[in-house]
Amino acid sequence: MADLEKNKRTVIEFYDIMFNQCNPRDAIEKYAGAQYIQHNPHVADGKEEFIAYFEKMARKFPGKLVRFKRVFAEGNHVILHCHQTWPNDNDYAGIDIFRLDDDGKIVEHWDVLQVVPKKSANNNGIF
């Protein structure tokens, strides 16, 4: 049985180092497994491709920030509900899904992003 709390911490720390601290290489070296499968159509498969993409995003959007709103875990999967802030661009609501291997290393990622709207038909908020 997967250690759900450990898997949650792994994914949060990975995402924080990669996104907030702008150090995707350290995140990959510390938390990724032997392979890294990417399903985001803007990011190529593989560890080096992931690193290159997020190093470019760190240069293009200094001060970008993710805030974790919710974290769910089941088996070897962790789901993050996040608020992403991209300076001089849009804020996004994101759902990121990670699969971890049996050693607790991240090996696969999916995501769905939505621009945080300026107006809403309800008062519930997006988060």
Q: Which residues pair with 100 in a beta bridge?
A: 106
Q: Find where tokens 């497994």 sit.
A: 33
| Structural domains of the chain in order of their starting residue, each with its CATH number | 4-115 (3.10.450.50)
CA-wise closest residue to 101 among 2, 9, 22: 2
pLDDT tens digits, one per residue of 102-127: 999 999 999 999 999 999 999 999 99
CA-wise closest residue to 105 among 23, 35, 21: 35
Residue 1 clears pLDDT 90, i.e. is over it: no
Full-model pTM: 0.94
Q: Which amino acid is at 102?
A: D
User: What DSSP string runs through 52-89?
Assistant: HHHHHHHHHSTT-EEEEEEEEEETTEEEEEEEEE-TTS
Q: Which residues pair with 63 in a beta bridge?
A: none
pLDDT tens digits, one per residue of 37-82: 999 999 999 999 999 999 999 999 999 999 999 999 999 999 999 9
* Beta strands at 65-74 and 32-38: parallel, antiparallel or unpaired: unpaired
